[in-house]
Amino acid sequence: MKYNRCRIFLVVILLVSFSIHLPAQTKKEKKKAINAIRERDKKFYSGSPEQSAFNETIHFQYVSGLIVVSVTINGKVYDFIFDTGALTLVTEELAKELQLEKTGTTEMNDGTSATKKVDIYSIERLQMGNIVFKNTGCMVNNLDDVSKMLCKKIDGIIGVNLMHECYWKIKFNDTTINLSSRVPTLPATALALAFVENFGRSPFMRTQYNDSSLYIEFDSGSNGPLDINEDLTAINRKPETSIFAAGYGFTTQTFFQKLTSKVYMGIADSIKIGGVMFRNKIVRLSRERNVSLMGTSFMKNYESILDFENHKIYMNPLSDTIDTKYSRSFGLNFVADSGKLKVTFLWEGSKAAADGIKLGDEITSVNSINTSSITNEQYCDLKNELTGMETLRLTIKDAANNEKAFQLNKYDLVR
């Protein structure tokens, strides 16, 4: 399922982060930081590929804007999300099935201020294609909410600790990932973005956007565009010429919570990332998280090579045009909630907002499909049914139980 086929249900999916910050100032703090790094490496970075030399290409599924790869453990195939902003993780169900041995505990962060203590385990043999990774450290957590959002059962996450073991080439145009023990051949047109690592060793690129200086995480666990952790007044120095759409509601699904926020979407004339200047790119501004992200909606326009050894991400452009598919909208978003289809997000100035539709209104029919009572499976079928449609006919029940019919046409939020 292609990402642009789900734009009606636009929700940024942000998975796990591991961003403990341990500033080393005093001797005590420095010792604490060193011990934390040793513990991190012992629990998560002690694994290695079984083969010493390899070059393997695997296919992935592109599900609601996320990369889902097949992983084989103990002869059985599972679906894992390929997430450069996370450490490797398995569901509680899979951990029990595999009878994994607990090796410790750690604190997990979901990209906001929310944290949770989770157990650490080790996977003896994990296979991608014909390549076997031994003794891969992993966390354990529930992924039911993520599976529901994706309309696909997810068994775990391939995280950055496994990715450090080789080079990775991601090609969205043919949905393949190449993993190799040697540096892949670089196209002459490839852009070289420098990055630094956070505590979990995910790649962060120094970024300059107008007068703001920040770091953006290269995060394939986010299905958004360039997501900037700023509000419009802080980032937009020329409001009279830079037009941003504004909206409010449920915007992001993390591991631990659903986030509501005011967001802005527009086009950045120029933004410098990892030492490379990009022009005319869609950006999304909000203060819902504590980190800025480069998500797959941006990445998919490039062939990307991850080189953790030299701290470089090489991005070969596949298209120079502005990809407006991400910003196509009916003016609202809706999701299934407790058996009801609810309006969860509205764009200001849209026909939906002008017609009086409100957050929390119940949608009782969509294009003559009865949605007055809906399961998650029926919601997933509805998403498929509406694939590619440009017009929505809705019947909506407001807080006073009054029903009214609406017709909405898809339009471009940014131009």
**What is the C-alpha to C-alpha distance for residues 410 and 330, in angstroms, rounded to an integer?**
4
**What is the C-alpha to C-alpha distance for residues 267 and 243, in angstroms, rounded to an integer?**
8
Q: Give me the pLDDT at residue 157, please.
A: 96
Show the domains of the chain with their CATH numbers: 3-180 (2.40.70.10), 191-326 (2.40.70.10), 330-412 (2.30.42.10)
> Any idea which residue has 């080189």 for tokens?
307
Nearest residue to 47 (alpha-carbon basis) of 104, 122, 119: 122
Region of 311 (left: φ > 0; alpha: ψ -120 to 50; beta: rest) is left
**What is the C-alpha to C-alpha distance for residues 142 and 149, in angstroms, rounded to an integer?**
13
**What is the C-alpha to C-alpha distance for residues 152 and 97, in angstroms, rounded to an integer?**
19
Please tell me whether residue 325 adopts helix, strand or coil conformation.
Answer: helix
Taking the alpha carbons at both ends of the chain, their separation in whole angstroms is: 26
Burial class (CB in 10 A: 0-12, 13-18, 19+), 238: exposed
Query: H-helix or E-strand containing 260?
Result: strand 258-273
Q: Residue 393 half-sphere exposure, CB side, CA atoms within 13 Å?
A: 4
**Centroid of chain to Cα 171:** 17
**What is the C-alpha to C-alpha distance for residues 57 and 61, in angstroms, rounded to an integer?**
14
Q: What is the pLDDT along the chain (415 residues), one digit of tens a residue?
A: 222 333 334 444 444 444 434 344 576 766 666 676 677 777 788 789 999 999 999 999 999 999 999 999 999 999 999 999 999 999 999 999 999 988 888 776 655 556 777 788 999 999 999 999 999 999 998 898 889 888 999 999 999 999 999 999 999 999 999 999 998 888 899 999 999 998 888 999 999 988 888 999 999 999 989 999 876 665 555 544 467 899 998 776 565 556 677 889 988 889 999 999 999 899 999 877 678 999 999 999 999 999 999 999 999 998 765 556 667 889 998 988 889 999 999 999 999 999 999 999 999 999 999 999 999 899 998 888 887 889 999 999 988 899 999 999 999 888 7
Q: Give me the pLDDT at residue 250, please.
A: 78
> Any idea which residue has 């991850």 for tokens?
306
Q: Tell me how far CA of residue 202 lies from CA of 16, 151, 243, in angstroms.
A: 11, 27, 32
